[in-house]
């Protein structure tokens, strides 16, 4: 293992492995080592738990951790010199559904396709490990460990390394909702905040997802007017204003939110706004997971796609969008039965304010994909 500064979890230093854990409310913490360098902890003489700073959970999030050395991977991307937002075309994908195998290694085989398409950066939906065998990614509980069903940590590193070697940006790769030591990324901050200017309380973010273009286009093309779409007109002037400003609301009152919304982005380069016609949120958070192309004419879809790609903002494509995929992308989990039912109920409740689902019976008809495999480990 290589030497390096200590972080939470297992660390190789001065010829030995040390374990660091943050547990301010625990009086005593026992380290239990199992065969093949699999550690677990026992806080205050209680039950065994995995390392909270684990970098890999080969037997599931409830099982023992595996000691990993993040500095041992043989990177080959030394010749990569980075890119700029002005040259960025993002492609968002979910590792588990992007290929038939649903693994990091399988995704490597598709990298030439991105280059042919013109994509310069890949954004992964969160890959932090989760309970069960399948998940959208936002139930990750092992924040530093890639999901074992997608592969080992070195498989994720190999994917990042191969992207860089084949001309797809490493620095613009995002692992949303989780953390991977192999990547850096533009932050995705709420549009209500002064997200880029530290002098105004912002965090100096390089870029931000802006839902405004999507909302305006969905209202214009498909007629969506429920929920937060009520604050969008879909008119040509409002679409144009959104394109000029990065988003529409700059402090005006928004009826759906019942409060002023947005900040003035004057002076910020438009390339710092990431815009899209589809992303995982705006498909998977729909009641049936339907894509925009389900409800509009192909000619309108093509025109909207051309507008997306020709505006000065940074465009984002969601997997399958480039060839007009109509397959739904529904929210899905693999929780145990009780938790699964609670998640389904919560998802249905979200649509209460949408006219089509005001009737409780209609909300019960919303399909929520909840697998119920036994917990691993």
Query: Could you read off the pLDDT of 78-100 as tens digits, one per residue?
Result: 888 778 888 999 999 999 999 99
Q: In this predicted structure, what is the pLDDT of residue 197?
A: 66
Distances (CA, A) of 365 to 24, 289, 336, 341, 348: 46, 13, 21, 14, 9
* Predicted pLDDT at 182: 29
- State the pLDDT at residue 175: 31
Locate the DSSP E strands across 263-303: 273-276
Q: What is the pLDDT of residue 211?
A: 93
Q: What is the pLDDT of residue 200?
A: 59
The closest of 30, 31, 34 to 44, measured between CA atoms, is 30
CA–CA separation, 334 and 147 (whole Å): 13
In contact, 345 and 278? CB cutoff 8 Å = no
Q: Residue 201 above 60 pLDDT?
A: yes
What average pLDDT does the structure give for the chain?
A: 84
The whole-angstrom separation of Cα 345 and Cα 107 is 33
Q: Cα–Cα distance between 267 and 241 in angstroms, integer?
A: 15
Q: Which is it for the CA torsion 233, 236, 239, 245, positive or negative?
A: negative
159 close to 169: Cβ distance less than 8 angstroms:
no
Q: For residue 105, what is the enclosing H or E element?
A: helix 104-108
Tokens at residue 237, please? 């002037």
Q: Which of 133, 178, 180, 141 is nearest to 157 (CA)?
A: 180
3-class state of residue 323 by DSSP: helix
Q: Has residue 44 got a pLDDT over 80?
A: yes
pLDDT mean over 33-49: 91
Q: How many CB atoms lie within 10 A of CB 352?
A: 11
* CA 64 – CA 49 distance, rounded (Å): 7
Q: Is pLDDT at 190 greater than 80 in this prediction?
A: no
State pLDDT tens for residues 273-287. Answer: 999 999 999 998 887
Would you kindly state where each structural domain of the chain is located, as residue ranges? 1-72, 85-175, 198-323, 335-370
Q: How confident is the model at residue 199 (pLDDT cuts 50, 70, 90)?
A: low
Model confidence over 104-113: pLDDT tens digits? 999 999 999 9
Binning pLDDT at 50, 70 and 90, where does residue 36 land? confident
Measured distance CA(151)–CA(58) in Å, rounded = 9
At the top level of CATH, the class of 1-72 is: mainly beta
Question: Mean of the pLDDT values across residues 191-195?
Answer: 50
Predicted TM-score (pTM) of the model is 0.85
Does 32 have pLDDT greater than 90? Answer: yes
Asked if pLDDT for residue 320 goes beyond 70, the answer is yes
pLDDT at 3: 47
Other CB atoms within 10 Å distance of the CB of residue 163: 25
The pLDDT of 17-29, averaged and rounded, is: 92
pLDDT value, residue 226: 86
Evaluate if residue 179 carries a pLDDT over 60: no
Could you say which DSSP state residue 311 is in? S
pLDDT higher than 60, residue 4: no
- 31-35, 130-134, 182-186, 228-232 — which is least confidently predicted? 182-186
pLDDT of residue 204: 73
Give the residue with greater pLDDT, 305 vs 197. 305
Does the structure show a pLDDT above 70 at 198? no
pLDDT over 90 (residue 72) = no
Q: DSSP for 136-189?
A: -STT--EEEEE-TTT--HHHHHHHHHHHHHTT-EEEEEEETTS--TT-------
**Both structure tokens of 54:** 């684990």
Residue 186 confidence (pLDDT) = 32
The fraction of the chain above a pLDDT of 70, given in percent, is 85
| Cα distance between residue 339 and residue 115, in whole Å | 41
Q: Name the region of 289 (left: φ>0; alpha: ψ -120 to 50; beta: rest).
A: left
With CA atoms as reference, report the closest residue to 146 among 161, 128, 159.
128
Q: What is the mean pLDDT of residues 313-320?
A: 96
For residue 310, pLDDT beyond 70: yes
Beta-carbon contacts of 371 under 8 Å, excluding residues fewer than 6 positions away, are 132, 133, 134, 332, 333, 334, 335, 340
CATH of domain 85-175: 3.30.750.90
Q: Is the pLDDT of residue 172 over 80?
A: no
What confidence score (pLDDT) does residue 369 get? 64
pLDDT tens across 326-335, in order? 889 988 888 8
């Amino acid at each position: 293992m290589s030497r390096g500064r200590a972080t939470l979890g297992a660390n190789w230093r001065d010829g030995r492995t040390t374990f660091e854990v943050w547990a301010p409310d625990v009086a005593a913490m026992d380290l239990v080592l199992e065969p093949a360098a699999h550690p677990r902890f026992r806080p205050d003489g209680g039950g065994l738990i995995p390392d909270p700073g684990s970098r890999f959970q080969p037997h599931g999030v409830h099982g023992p951790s595996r000691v990993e050395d993040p500095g041992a991977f043989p990177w080959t991307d030394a010749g990569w010199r980075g890119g700029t937002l002005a040259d960025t075309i993002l492609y968002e994908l979910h590792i588990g559904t992007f290929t038939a195998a649903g693994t990091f290694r399988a995704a490597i085989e598709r990298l030439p396709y991105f280059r042919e398409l013109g994509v310069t950066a890949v954004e992964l939906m969160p890959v932090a490990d989760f309970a069960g065998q399948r998940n959208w990614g936002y139930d990750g509980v092992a924040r530093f460990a890639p999901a074992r069903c997608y592969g080992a940590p070195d498989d994720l590193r190999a994917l990042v390394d191969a992207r860089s070697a084949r001309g797809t940006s490493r620095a613009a790769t995002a692992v949303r909702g989780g953390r991977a030591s192999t990547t850096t990324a533009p932050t995705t901050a709420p549009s209500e905040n002064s997200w880029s200017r530290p002098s105004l309380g912002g965090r100096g973010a390089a870029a931000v997802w802006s839902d405004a273009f999507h909302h305006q286009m969905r209202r214009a093309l498909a007629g969506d007017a429920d929920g937060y779409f009520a604050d969008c007109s879909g008119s040509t002037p409002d679409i144009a204003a959104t394109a000029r400003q990065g988003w529409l609301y700059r402090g005006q009152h928004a009826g759906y939110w019942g409060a002023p919304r947005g900040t003035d982005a004057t002076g910020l380069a438009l390339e710092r706004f990431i815009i899209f016609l589809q992303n995982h949120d705006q498909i998977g958070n729909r009641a049936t997971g339907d894509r925009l192309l389900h409800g509009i004419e192909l000619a309108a879809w093509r025109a909207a796609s051309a507008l997306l790609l020709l505006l000065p903002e940074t465009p984002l494509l969601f997997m399958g969008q480039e060839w007009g995929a109509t397959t739904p992308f529904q929210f899905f989990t693999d929780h145990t039965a009780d938790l699964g039912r609670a998640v389904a109920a919560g998802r249905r409740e979200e649509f209460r304010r949408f006219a089509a689902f005001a009737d409780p019976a209609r909300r019960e008809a919303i399909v929520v994909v909840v697998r119920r495999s036994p917990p691993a480990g």
